[in-house]
Amino acid sequence: MSLVTGDDISAAAGRLAGRIVRTPLLSCRRLSDDLGLDVLVKAENLQHAGSFKVRGAQNALLARAERGQLPAGIATFSAGNHAAAAAYAGWVLGLPTVVCMPPGAVDVKVAAVKRYGGEVVFTDDLAGTCHAVAAERGYALLHPFDDLDVIAGAGTVGAELAADAGSLELVLVPVGGGGLISGIAAAVKAVSPATRVVGVEPVTANAVTHGLRHGALVPLPRRPVSLADGLTAPYAGEHTLAHIEAHVDVIVEVPEQVIARAWWELLDATKLLVEPSAAVGLAALRLGLVETVPEARVALVLSGGNVASATLAQIGQN
């Protein structure tokens, strides 16, 4: 299976220039002092449409256009940030977008699709309905994570991180279906092989750990549910699993309660509103799941900032 290269990621960065926010890499003294580390955060919550996903969605469409394959429209499926990102990408490129979402999708993520003019189809059979919509309308099907162009787009997060951080001992990346960490690991290892890239999944939504044991595309035995709703992919992709096997040092799992505490701590210490998915890296550090030497330079990828109203309402109660 072919893997995304540093050159692919550079090409993606070229396509995305001016179309994405080059998000800041911020040093957090409070977290650094508390953890005895040098903690940086990559603030993808400040990205257009509120998450890193606009990088992959736009790169996928722009790369297809370069190959003479720009479709008449986009059909995609997602319960989360990819939904808004695909609608955003369609909107800026003038393509109609249909997003298949589960009936229980959180309010802000549905509203975000509509904000960018996307059409929402609620369905329990996300992939099946999406294939049907694509066939019926002659639209291209865009997979939310298991696509080499989507992975290369996500990789631009890693390229920016590596360029801005200087020497870096460790990067902690939230893991759902594996698209973000596939891109980041490819980018970071291309320029700094000694930097450890560690993925973090919720215990209750561990599709990649499951995939590493049972194979790509094998669904989890139970529907994943987590406060980190952005990480509840039902299976790991073929492409993503190949990238993870090639480049990622280890995947660790964190329980719900620790995610909630880490999320609160991030808000309080960094003044950044992130979604719970973005807090799994800090949760892993807090649990001591990742070995670090004192004062090591560690980057947390804050993948997005789209918080459901119901989740936000819990903030004050913590």
User: DSSP secondary-structure letter at 277?
Assistant: G
Judged by the rule CB under 8 A, the positions of this chain that interact with its own copies are 21, 24, 26-27, 29, 45-46, 48, 50, 267, 270-274, 305, 309, 312-317
Q: Which of 84, 80, 97 is nearest to 55 (CA)?
A: 84
Nearest-angstrom CA–CA distance, 224 and 240 = 18
CB proximity list for 244: less than 8 A, separation 6 or greater: 178, 181, 182, 185, 199, 208, 212, 236, 251
Q: How far is the CB of 243 from its own copies (least distance, A)?
A: 28
Q: How far is the CB of 95 from its own copies (least distance, A)?
A: 19
Q: How far is the CB of 300 from its own copies (least distance, A)?
A: 15
**Nearer of residues 211 and 281 to its own copies, judged by Cβ:** 281
Inter-axis angle of helices 6-16 and 53-66, to 10 degrees?
A: 90
* Amino acid (1-letter code) at residue 19: R
**Nearer of residues 201 and 275 to its own copies, judged by Cβ:** 275
Q: How far is the CB of 258 from its own copies (least distance, A)?
A: 21
What Rg value do the Cα atoms of the chain yield, rounded? 18
Nearest-angstrom CA–CA distance, 157 and 24 = 11
Nearest-angstrom CA–CA distance, 104 and 258 = 24
**Nearer of residues 156 and 270 to its own copies, judged by Cβ:** 270
CB proximity list for 30: less than 8 A, separation 6 or greater: 269, 270
Nearest-angstrom CA–CA distance, 179 and 231 = 11
Query: Facing residues of 199 across strands?
Result: 173, 251
Q: How far is the CB of 227 from its own copies (least distance, A)?
A: 15
Nearest-angstrom CA–CA distance, 203 and 225 = 10
Q: How far is the CB of 25 from its own copies (least distance, A)?
A: 10
**Nearer of residues 223 and 271 to its own copies, judged by Cβ:** 271
**Nearer of residues 21 and 250 to its own copies, judged by Cβ:** 21
**Nearer of residues 176 and 305 to its own copies, judged by Cβ:** 305
**Nearer of residues 45 and 59 to its own copies, judged by Cβ:** 45
Phi (first) and psi of residue 41, to 5 degrees: -125, 135
Nearest-angstrom CA–CA distance, 175 and 167 = 23
**Nearer of residues 12 and 269 to its own copies, judged by Cβ:** 269
Q: How far is the CB of 136 from its own copies (least distance, A)?
A: 32
Q: How far is the CB of 157 from its own copies (least distance, A)?
A: 16
